[in-house]
Structure 1
Amino acid sequence: MSGRADETTDGYFDELAAVLAEAGMPADRIGATLDDLAGYLAESGGDPEEEFGPAAELARELTGAPAPSAGPAADARAWHWTADLFHDVKMLNEYGAQGWEVDGVDGKGLFVSARDPEHPQQWEYRRELVSPGRRRSVLGLLAPDGWEPCGRWVCFEYFKRPRAASLGPAAELTAPPGAPGRNIFLSPKFYAFVSAVLVLTAAALVPLLRSVGAELDGSDDSLDTVLGLLTGGAVGALVPMTVLWLAARRRGRRR
């Protein structure tokens, strides 16, 4: 059994290495990537395809290559969008109720969604924190309730299921709203988080830079200009974020 498992793993990594090479990844990066993945498998003892997904799909995620298209019609109705982690599940369910089904997460981290033009159905979503060694158990827990994976981003995996299981025929939409007019959804919590990070970073840098200046010439006057530039840069970064947040709120009220 162990020999068969080794053959499966070797075949998976051979296919992955070939696809990564075709995508233009340097040989040293391919070797390092395979070593990292092999290390995960050694700890989890799982099957590589169950842990990482199909080799071709994993290669697209690692290189940012576009997913193969199902044809012009699919491209025409696809919608690529994103939301921050503070409210991505909320937005997924909001648009899932409008018939948008997520088919995956592309190399840029965007949800790839489509809506059946003839018989749009409502969908619901959830997100799980999934480590390589935990993926099989998470899938086993969610599958009996109809949840199926629909995309991964870093250590997060998204799951979907049709609401027809609970709503029946009422899950089909007769007059869904039009396609969204934007594709980036950032929450106030996201802007507050970024602002807090900037403030804390500036607060940490001030005593550090003053200490460095004191060690260099016994005075912190030489760094006053640098500190001023850092403070101005932090404030300057907050201004456009505030403008974007206000614009997003106004746009949300118009929807």
Structure 2
Amino acid sequence: MTPVEITRGDSPVVLGLPHTGTCVPEDVRADLNARGRGLDDTDWHIHKLYEGLLPGATSVRATFHRYVIDANRDPSGASLYPGQNTTALVPLTDFDGYDIWDRTPDDAEIEKRRATYHAPYHAALAAELERVRARHGVAILYDCHSIRSEIPFLFDGVLPDFSIGTNMGETCDPAIERTVSAVCDRAEGYTGTINGRFKGGWTTRHYGRPQSGLHAIQMELAQSTYLDAEAAPWRYDAAKADRLRAHLAEILTELADLAPTLPKPTGDQA
């Protein structure tokens, strides 16, 4: 299995796709229980949803499933949301809190997966961001995610359709957050929030260094906005998706147009 797929473009926008992969090596699959083998916590069809929305955008996509190892978690294993229910670098439960393993991976196995999957994905993402920044002076990482809109184990109530994460404004220039939020606010029939339950995962927090010309923002979409139902077999609803894609295309286009106006790093900030 090739752990990462890269599509290179000349836009200042880089799409991160850490959770849309469904590949599970046979030795890992053998250790999952029946519930785990359902792969329910996939960001289903996200690569299809964003495909072709911004000509020239670079994309970096993890092909492996998040149950193998989560490409959007701190490789040290530190929690993104201390004190709240969440899932680990190698999840032991699904989003509903149920065990997913017949045989739980030990520390040696987790380290093997980190080196084999997590590290190559982030090496590729870092390299593409540097390439894009060298070309444009800045790079904007737009990290693409989706999740079921109702998961009581992780959050109360129903998620907004658009959940924007910038770690309370730390990971990008304020103009980027304003631009994305404004498009979401104009999207008739959709709801949105900034830095609510999702403030940006490890990817957004790790790469978002605005003073260095690297900007990062996470978009967590409610799967009800583009799936037929938030349950197996997780069918893509073309009519819903096309309506949503128009707004996503507007977001990405406005980000690409905004990039030349962003402050460029100088001296040792680069």
The question of a shared fold, defined as TM-score above 0.5 by the shorter chain, is answered with no
TM bracket, shorter-chain basis? under 0.3
Q: Which has the larger radius of gyration?
A: 1
Task: Pick 1 or 2: higher relative contact order, CA cutoff 8 A, min separation 6.
Answer: 2
More helix by share: 1
TM-score, normalized by length of structure 2?
A: 0.26
TM-score, normalized by length of structure 1?
A: 0.27
